[in-house]
Amino acid sequence: MSTTINFTIDGKAVSAQKGETILQVARRNDIYIPTMCYISKTSPCASCRICSVEAEGVDGFILSCNTPPTEGINIKTNSAELEQERVNIMKLYDVNHPLECGVCDKSGECDLQNKTLEFGVAQQNFSAKDQLRTVKDWGLINYDPALCIMCEKCVHVCNEVIGDDAIEVKFGGYSSTIIPKESETLDCTFCGECIAVCPVGALVSSDFKYSANAWELSRVPSTCAHCSAGCPLEYETRHSGINGDDSIYRVKNNFEFTSLCGAGRFGFDFNNTERSTSEDFQKALEALKSAKAIRFSSMITNEEAHILQRLKEKLDLKLFNEDARLYASFMNSYASVSGKLHYSGSLDAIKQADAAIVIGTRIATDNPGVRYALTTASKHNGAKIVYAHPMEDALMQNTVTQFMKYEVGTEEGVMALIANELLKNKELPKEIRKYFNELDLGYLEAESNVGDDELTLMTKSFARAQNKVLIIGADIFAHKRASNIAKLAAIIEKYTDFSLVVVPNEVNTLGVSLVCDLDVDEDLSNVVGYNAHGEFIISSLDGADLSVGALNQQEGTVVSIDNRVLPLNVALPFDGYTLNDIASAFDIKTKHTIDYTKELDSSKGFKSIAFDDLENFLSPYGDDERGYILDEVVCPVDETLEEVAELPEYNGTVVYHANPVLQFNRYTAKTKQLEKDTTLRGSAQFAAAAKIADGDEIKIHLRSGVVKRTFKLDEELKGTIALNPTFDILVDMSGYRFEKSKIVRVV
C-alpha cells in the first residue's frame, strides 16, 4: 500500500502523506486557501468555513482544513460560488463588529481587518440585534466579547497545546462567548497563548492594552532568556515618553508553529537600567586581579562563558558554576556509556512521541516548553506519558497517563528498575545483562515504592508505541548518584528505541557546561561574582558593583534543550561596560563579544559560524531555521555500570525547591507583570507534620542558610513535601533539590 495520495489542486499535481489534509497540502505547495480559524499546531477548529473548496464529483463544498484527499480527486480552490460563499461568511463576521479599529490593539495586524478588505466587504447587509457584552478583566488577560468572532482558536491552543484547558465556548448562537471553564474568573497558568492566537482584539494583554499600536512597534527577533526551551520570540519596542528612550512594549511569537509561556510573554522587562562609572570599572579590574575565582550563573551567553574561560586561563582563576558543573558531569557520565556527547532527543521528538517517561522534574514549572510538547503529544498522538516523581503535579493531570510515585532520594533505584523493565527483551552485551540480572529488584521496589505492577502497566501501555522519549530533569543532576543514573539513561537510549532529553536547569546551562572548564565550588574568600554572589559583584541584576547588560540587551548565543545554538539580539541598548571590556583590559582583546561566536570549541560540537551569519526565523512551512544544531561528538566508550547504592530515606518535613508557574530566576522576579508568589506551599499533611498553619510566618533552615517565608496551604498538594520557590533567592545549586529541613514558626 502506498502512503502517498496523488491528486490535483487547481490543476496542479500534488501528493499528500497519509493523514494530511487538503489545506496542509495546498499550503505546502504554495496554493492559497483563505482561512480564519485554522492554526497549524492544533487540530482544525472548523468553525469559519472559509476554507471551503470544491471537489470534482462531490456535491456542495468541502472543508479543506479537516478533509483528507482521496486518490485522483480534482480540487478547485476558486470559483464564483466559492467567492460568493466566502464573501457571505465575511459579511456575517462583520455584523455589528465594533468600528473601533482606530483604538483597537489588533488594528494593523488583524485577520478580520485583512480578510474584510480582501473580500471587499464595504457594507453591512445583514442585521442582528446587538447585545450588551461587557469587557472581562481576567488578570493579565483582558477579554472583550464584542470583538470576539468565535473562531475558537484560543480554546484549541489552551486545550491541545498548553494543557491548561481553562477556557471553553459558551454556546448560544449569536450570543456565544468564551468563558473560563468551571470557574468565575480565569484560573490558569497565564501563558497568554490565547492572546497570541486571537485573530481580532478580543483577547489582549491587560498591560499592553491601548498603550501602542502594531504600526508603532519595531520588532527584534530573539530567543527567550528564561528557560532552556529556547522559544523563539520577538520583542516589540518603541520609545516611551517624550524623551524617547526605547522600552519593550510586548513580546510576540510565531503562534502558528511555536508556543510561549507567560514568563516569556509577560516577563520581558528584565533589562538592566543601572549604569556604572569608570571608577566602578577600575574597581572591577582590581577585584579580578586579586580574585581567586569567579562564580557565575548560567544566565549568560556562550560568548561570555568563553570570555570567562579565557580569563580563567589568563589569570589562573577557578570558575564556579555548580549548576553547569553538575550538568556537565552528568553529561560526561552519559557520554562515557553512549559514546557521544549530546543526547538524541529534542522538543520536536517529544511532540511527535507516542510514549514518554518523565523522571526527576516538576516539568510544568521547570520547563514549560517541555510541558507544551508533552501536551501536544498527548492530545495529537494519544501519547502514553509516565510521570515519575515523588510529588503529583496538578498541572500535568490532563496529560499524564500514569503517575509513578517514588520515595524522595531513590531516583537511582527507580532508574535501574525502569531500565531493567525496558531492557527485558532486548539484546544486551553480556556484562550489562549480568548487571541487570544481579539487581536486587525486591529491595529496590520496596525502598523506592515503585511496584512491579506499575512497571508492567508501563510496558503494556508502551506496547504499540513507535516514538518514545525519556525525559530526565533537574532533580537528578545534584543527586549523589547522578553519574550512575546518567549511565543507566545512556544504556536505555543505546539499547532501546527511546530517545533521551536531559532538561537543562537554566537558559544556557547546556552551553556553559560545554564552553567552560568548571571547578568544584569551594567556599573561598575573594570570589568575584558574575550574575552570582561574591565579594565583588558584576551583574545585570540590581545592586551590582559593576552593571552589565541583561540577556535582552546583548548579542550572543545560547544552547537550548534541542542542542541548538540560538542567537539572542539586542532589544534594548545597554550603554555601559561589558565583560568583553574587562577581558580587553586583561589583554584578551576583540572588538565585539560576538567575535567569539565562531571561536567556540569545535571539539564540543560548535560550528565555526560567525554570529552575523546565524539565521533566526521559522520558515512559512514551520521549519526551524534558527541558529544551528551542535555537531555530534564521539567519545570513548566504557560501559561499566556502578552498583546501585543503598537508597536513602527522607523522613519528616521535606522541602522541594521548585518555582511557582511563570517564575524561574531573579530576572523573572524583577518583571512588572508576573506574579511573585514567594510562599512555601504545602499540604494539610505537611502543615500538621511541621506544626504550622496557613498564613504563618516561618523560618526554613536550609543548607544554604535560613529563609523567611509565609506558609500557604495548597489544596492541590498531598504528602509531606512542601514547595519552596527559588526564584527570589540565591540558591545553592550544588545540593539535591529535596531537602530535609527544620521549619520554625516566627512568633
Partner 1 sequence: MSLEAFNNRNVTEGDYFLCDIEDYPQDGWGKFKRVVKRTFRGELFVGLWVVMREMIRFDIHTIQYPQEKMPIGPRYRAVHQMKRLWESDTERCIGCGLCEKICISDCIRIDTRIDENSRKEVTEYTINLGRCIFCGYCAEVCPELAITHGGEYENASDQREHFLLYEDMLTPIDKMKAGKQLEFEGFGSITPHEDERVKKTPLAY
- Min dist CB 242 to partner 1, Å, is 5
Q: In 3D, which of 393, 312, 311 has the Cα closest to residue 358? A: 393
Number of residues engaging partner 1 in binding (CB under 8 A): 23
User: Which parts of 130-220 fold into alpha helices (H)?
Assistant: 153-157, 193-197
Q: Where are the beta strands (DSSP E) in 190-340?
A: 203-205, 218-223, 232-240, 245-252, 293-296, 318-320
- Min dist CB 139 to partner 1, Å, is 15
Q: Give the integer Cα–Cα distance in Å for 312 and 299.
A: 19
Nearer to partner 1, 246 or 599 (CB): 246
- Min dist CB 148 to partner 1, Å, is 16
- Min dist CB 136 to partner 1, Å, is 11
Q: Give the integer Cα–Cα distance in Å for 600 and 302.
A: 8
Its sign, for the CA torsion 105, 107, 113, 118, is negative
- Min dist CB 245 to partner 1, Å, is 11
Q: Which one of 213, 397, 449, 616 is in contact with partner 1 (CB under 8 A)? A: 213
- Min dist CB 108 to partner 1, Å, is 9
Residue 164 burial by CB count (10 A; 0-12/13-18/19+): exposed, middle or buried? buried
Beta strand pairing call for 402-404 and 384-388 = parallel
Binding mask 104-143 for partner 1 (x = CB under 8 A): ---x---------------xxxxxxx-----x--------
Beta strand pairing call for 355-359 and 384-388 = parallel
- Min dist CB 113 to partner 1, Å, is 13
Nearer to partner 1, 209 or 718 (CB): 209
Q: In 3D, which of 724, 706, 716 has the Cα closest to residue 683? A: 716
Binding segment for partner 1 among 240-248, 470-478, 541-549, 625-633 (CB under 8 A)? 240-248
Nearer to partner 1, 129 or 591 (CB): 129
Binding segment for partner 1 among 15-23, 188-196, 235-243, 705-713 (CB under 8 A)? 235-243
Q: Give the integer Cα–Cα distance in Å for 171 and 235.
A: 36
Nearer to partner 1, 220 or 419 (CB): 220
Nearer to partner 1, 239 or 314 (CB): 239
CB 296 within 8 Å of CB 531:
yes
- Min dist CB 141 to partner 1, Å, is 14
Q: Is 210 in the site for partner 1 (CB under 8 A)?
A: yes
Q: Give the integer Cα–Cα distance in Å for 379 and 306.
A: 41
Write out the binding residues for partner 1, residues 83-102 only, by CB under 8 A. 102
Q: Which one of 17, 114, 131, 211 is in contact with partner 1 (CB under 8 A)? A: 211
Binding mask 161-200 for partner 1 (x = CB under 8 A): ----------------------------------------
- Min dist CB 249 to partner 1, Å, is 11
Binding segment for partner 1 among 189-197, 237-245, 392-400, 629-637 (CB under 8 A)? 237-245
Binding segment for partner 1 among 212-220, 283-291, 328-336, 359-367 (CB under 8 A)? 212-220
Q: In 3D, which of 205, 183, 202, 201 has the Cα closest to residue 192? A: 205
- Min dist CB 166 to partner 1, Å, is 23
Residue 582 burial by CB count (10 A; 0-12/13-18/19+): exposed, middle or buried? buried
Distance set, CA 698 to CA 357, 403, 611, 687, 717 (Å): 36, 31, 49, 11, 19
Q: Which one of 28, 91, 209, 292 is in contact with partner 1 (CB under 8 A)? A: 209
Nearer to partner 1, 18 or 239 (CB): 239
Query: Helices 411-422 and 441-448: crossing angle, nearest 10°?
Result: 130
Q: Give the integer Cα–Cα distance in Å for 383 and 464.
A: 10
Q: Which one of 12, 170, 219, 239 is in contact with partner 1 (CB under 8 A)? A: 239
- Min dist CB 570 to partner 1, Å, is 21
Q: Give the integer Cα–Cα distance in Å for 747 and 104.
A: 52
Residues that bind partner 1 (CB under 8 A): 102-103, 107, 123-129, 135, 209-213, 215-216, 239-242, 244
